[in-house]
C-alpha cells in the first residue's frame, strides 16, 4: 500500500482500487500489505503470498542511485520506500513472481543499481510529454521486444499505453534488460530474463481494464500459481 495525505496529522494507508480489481479479475486474490519495519512481520508477509506487486507512487530518494534531489522531485514516503526495497529483496531471494508499476518499475531498476532520469522534460527536447493527465487515456505507442516475459504475458508486441510520469529509467539495473520502448526511445519496461517472472512497466496497465494490458496481471497470477506449486512440491 501507499501512504496517502495526512488525516488530522496521522498517516493514512491507501491504494487505488484498480490494482486489486484487476488482480481479482484475472483470477488472483489481492492482499494489501501495510508497511512495517519489523523484519519478522515482513518474513511472515512474504511467506503468505505467491506473488508481489509494487504499485505506483511518488519519487524515489535519488540518494539511492547517487544523485542530488531535483527541484521537481516529490519524494515518496521513506517508510514505504524502505518497505518496498526490503520486500523486493525477500522476493528476489525466493525467485517469487514480481511486477512493478510506474514507481514500482523505477524501484525495481534502482534496487538492481540502475539509475533514473529525475525530470524527463530536461533530458531532451526529442522526448514525448510523458506526464499526461487522466488514468485511461492512451498517450503513446509502446513497442515490446519479442521473446520476453512481457511479450508473452501481453500477447502483443505493439500497443497504446497511458503515461503520467516525469521520471524514467536511465541506466538499466544489473541483470535487467529493457523490454519495451516509447517511440522516443525511453525505456518503458524491464525484466530479469533469468527469473520466472520479474517484470516492471512504466505505464499504468491497471487503469486499462478490458484491454491487452490486463495480460501483464494475468501473467503475474499464472506465475504465482506455478510458484505455489513449486513451494508445495518442495515442502512435500
| Number of CB atoms found within 10 A of residue 71's CB | 6
Q: Which three cell numbers stand for residue 107?
A: 524501484
Answer for the pair 148, 158: CB distance below 8 angstroms, yes or no.
no
Residue 3 DSSP one-character state: E
Terminal C-alpha separation, the chain: 33
Closest CA relative to residue 203, chosen from 156, 157, 138, 146? 138
| Cα distances (angstroms) measured from residue 28 to each of 18, 57, 94, 141, 185 | 13, 22, 19, 28, 33
What residues are labeled active site? 102, 204, 206
- Cell numbers 497470477 label which residue? 221
**Contact indicator for 101, 220 with CB cutoff of 8 Å:** no
| Inter-CA distances, 188 with 110, 202, 204, Å | 15, 5, 11
* Distance, CA of 119 to CA of 77 (rounded, Å): 19
Amino acid at each position: 500500500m501507499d501512504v496517502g495525505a495526512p488525516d488530522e496529522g496521522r498517516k493514512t494507508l491507501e491504494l487505488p482500487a484498480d490494482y486489486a480489481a484487476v488482480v481479482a479479475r484475472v483470477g488472483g486474490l489481492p492482499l494489501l500489505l501495510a508497511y512495517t519495519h519489523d523484519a519478522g512481520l515482513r518474513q511472515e508477509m512474504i511467506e503468505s503470498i505467491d506473488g508481489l506487486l509494487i504499485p505506483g507512487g511518488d519519487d524515489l530518494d535519488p540518494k539511492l542511485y547517487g544523485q542530488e534531489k531535483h527541484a521537481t522531485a516529490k519524494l515518496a514516503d521513506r517508510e514505504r520506500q524502505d518497505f518496498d526495497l526490503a520486500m523486493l529483496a525477500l522476493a528476489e531471494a525466493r525467485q517469487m513472481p514480481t511486477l512493478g508499476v510506474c514507481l514500482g518499475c523505477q524501484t525495481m531498476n534502482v534496487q538492481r543499481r540502475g539509475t533514473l532520469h529525475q525530470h524527463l522534460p530536461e533530458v531532451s527536447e526529442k522526448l514525448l510529454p510523458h506526464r499526461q493527465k487522466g488514468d485511461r487515456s492512451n498517450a503513446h505507442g509502446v513497442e515490446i521486444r519479442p521473446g520476453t516475459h512481457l511479450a508473452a504475458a501481453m500477447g502483443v508486441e505493439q500497443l497504446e499505453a497511458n503515461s503520467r510520469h516525469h521520471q524514467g529509467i536511465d541506466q538499466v539495473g544489473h541483470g535487467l534488460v529493457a523490454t519495451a520502448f516509447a517511440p522516443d526511445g525511453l525505456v518503458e519496461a524491464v525484466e530479469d530474463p533469468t527469473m520466472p517472472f520479474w517484470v516492471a512497466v512504466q505505464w499504468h496497465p491497471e487503469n486499462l481494464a478490458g484491454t491487452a494490458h490486463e495480460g501483464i496481471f494475468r501473467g503475474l497470477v499464472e506465475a504465482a500459481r506455478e510458484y505455489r506449486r513449486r513451494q508445495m512440491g518442495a515442502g512435500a
